[in-house]
Amino acid sequence: MKKSYIVLALAVVLIGGYFLYVPTAEAPQKDTSMSFFITSVNTGKGADLGGLAGADAYCTTLAESAGVVGKTWRAYLSAAATDSAPTVNARDRIGAGPWHNAKGDLIAATLEELHGTNNLSKATALTEMGQVVLGRGDTPNMHDILTGSNADGTLAVGATDTTCANWTSSTDGSAVVGHHDRIGINDSEPMKSWNSSHASRGCSLDALKSTGGNGLYYCFAE
């Protein structure tokens, strides 16, 4: 008799457990595929990138050449207002994050983090091919990255041109650059800024090189 009660009790537990069991859905995997990179090479025209549209298209071309397709790429560049277009702030072009480099390392989770305490450094600010960009102390130094922006990602406004005529000039003008390696001639905040360090000497590729750059810029997946 006791055995019958035990068997019955086990059956109730097993049946009850069956009806109470609710399978839980697996947590969605986070996308850590590349959504940020520094262009590996200049277009050949210095800071004349074909405007913002041309710069965006070049980001897409490089990303797809690296095998990353199906993403909308935006150049991290600001532009001044014209008669036909309003001011463009780099921070408003790139979406909300998060962003990862070619090796899957998190660069920043949000816009606020990107423009605050981010994970950008020489070791993480890689090209679309996952290569390190040469910085201060290397030959040649290429740490000047075109942005035309203030530290908060808004358009840099000065007494002179800050965007090489909205990224259409390869001669006259100037562009604000940042240091991807976070190193400069001193320990001041601008010298350690990834997006707003100083102005270039000009807009030609030679002028950009003479300042410590190579006409490279940041690309983000929107």
- 21 has pLDDT over 50: no
**What average pLDDT does this structure show over 115-121?**
98
Total-model pTM: 0.87
pLDDT at 32: 86
Token representation of residue 135: 């910085």
Helix residue ranges per DSSP H, the chain:
2-20, 51-65, 111-114, 164-167, 205-211
pLDDT at 18: 43
- C-alpha angle 106/129/96, rounded to 5°? 35
For residue 218, give the nearest of 53, 71, 35, 31 by alpha carbon.
35
